[in-house]
Amino acid sequence: MDVWARASCNRRTFLKGVGALALCSGCPGPDPDNPRVIEYPNIPEDWDFNLPAADPLLASYTINKLTIPNRLTKTATRERMADWQWRATGTYADWQRTLACGGAGLVITGSIYTQLAGAGLPESCLADGADKVPCLKLAPQAVHDVGGIIFAQLTDVGAETTAQINGGLGARAPSAVPNLNGQVPRVMSAAEIADAIAAFGQAAAIVRDAGFDGIEIQMGHDDLASQFLNPARNKRTDGYGGNLANRQRFALEVLAAVRQAVGPDYPLIAKINGDLGTQAPEDLDEAIQTALALEQGGIDAFDVSCGGPEAISGPHRPPLEAFSEFKENRNVKSAAAIRAAVHRPVIVVGGLREPRTMRLIAHNEGADAIGLARPLIRSPYFAKQILEGSEDRSLCGSPNDCLFGLEQGRLQCWNMCDTCSA
């Protein structure tokens, strides 16, 4: 059963006017005899918990000169909805359109790779030449047809790939630090670094020409830019390693290449880690300094997430199970700290499930926008439900099967009830 059929019962009930996430007969509904108690883990205790009458999530905001109509964003996940030649498909476009119809004021695509050497998942989009423009146009056209806004996320996964995935090129990285699979990538030469930076600029021009409204540059999680930023992954002794300014160099040169390719008025977001996965204070300090450097370099907004198991190397890496454990509102405090330091809009993503918490974040200016990924994989119309005033919690239980399942096929929720998946 594919993702469209799995979402169809929710989509049908929405179109009937029942609500974006009206529960089907197989889903557990609210118990009127036991009212739900909303808790606020990982939310600053000194925030104002009294919400105004006007819903803060309905307010618009701007990225560069582009107005985003509300504060809910579909943030990027890998999707595996392209063909085996790395070209976008109709299925890929339909998924982006579904998310736009579902109420997200901004839709950010999953990973679009800038060059084959940095591709980390088969059946994904690649923006490495003008021949990719016609197929990449499908998604912006589909989203614009329903009045939506869509950004392309550009990335290079660096160490986190294999020769089987990237056409025999193998993994390369800032340093010979084992990746999550225990494989040791080759150390990037100066020429390879220059090629990777140039590829971001070329890909930026390609997605702009394909009609995307803006770009998110992936500098977080553990993709290549983050590997340069991360002292555990970057052991270089040249101008791209060592102190923080040197480790920031790759990210800043990528930003400069992208900005040169698209011009000053084209919206650019940087996705960054608030921490590397351990919530260490020094991680946040470096994240704030990096955000300030990117702001000075011309970025228009930030999307704050965190590192995963790939970001932590050596004997101090916790077991993978520790990263699979759900942490509600995981990145709110780090996003709030970054927002207090910069003068650009900040999106926060990670473990956001309660609409009331999302409203509190916007009301207290902890972030300018709320990023939703797994909840919208589970229920693409969840954003619309929230904007219509619902305080029902997301049905996503966060088992991560949607992401683990990418090894077998395209992105979808694997934990629908029997009625939803029928």
Four-CA torsion 214, 217, 221, 222, nearest 10 degrees: 150
* pLDDT score for 94: 96
Question: Per-block average pLDDT, block size 10, for the chain (422 residues)?
Answer: 34 29 50 76 94 97 98 91 93 95 97 96 94 96 98 97 95 94 94 98 98 98 95 96 98 98 98 83 92 98 85 49 70 97 97 96 98 92 97 81 65 59 42
Whether the model clears a pTM of 0.75, i.e. scores above it, the answer is: yes
370 forms bridges with which residues in the sheet? 72, 348
Distance, in Å, from the CA atom of 50 to the CA atom of 115, rounded to the nearest integer, reads 48
Distance, in Å, from the CA atom of 245 to the CA atom of 250, rounded to the nearest integer, reads 10
Domain boundaries defined on the chain? 3-27+58-407
* pLDDT score for 317: 46
* pLDDT score for 21: 38
DSSP string, 42-91: TS-TTS-----SS-GGG--EEETTEEESSSEEE-------B-TTS-B-HH
Pick the CATH number of 3-27+58-407 from 3.20.20.70, 1.10.3080.10, 2.40.50.100, 3.40.50.300: 3.20.20.70
Name the token pair of 194.
């220059």
In angstroms, the Cα distances linking 310 to 99, 226, 273, 306, 378 are 28, 10, 13, 11, 25
* pLDDT score for 327: 86
In angstroms, the Cα distances linking 264 to 198, 250, 256, 293, 295 are 18, 20, 11, 17, 13
Amino acid letter for position 289 = Q
CB atoms within 10 A of CB 245: 12
* pLDDT score for 27: 57
Contact yes or no for 382/57 (Cβ under 8 A)? no
CB atoms within 10 A of CB 379: 26
* pLDDT score for 106: 98
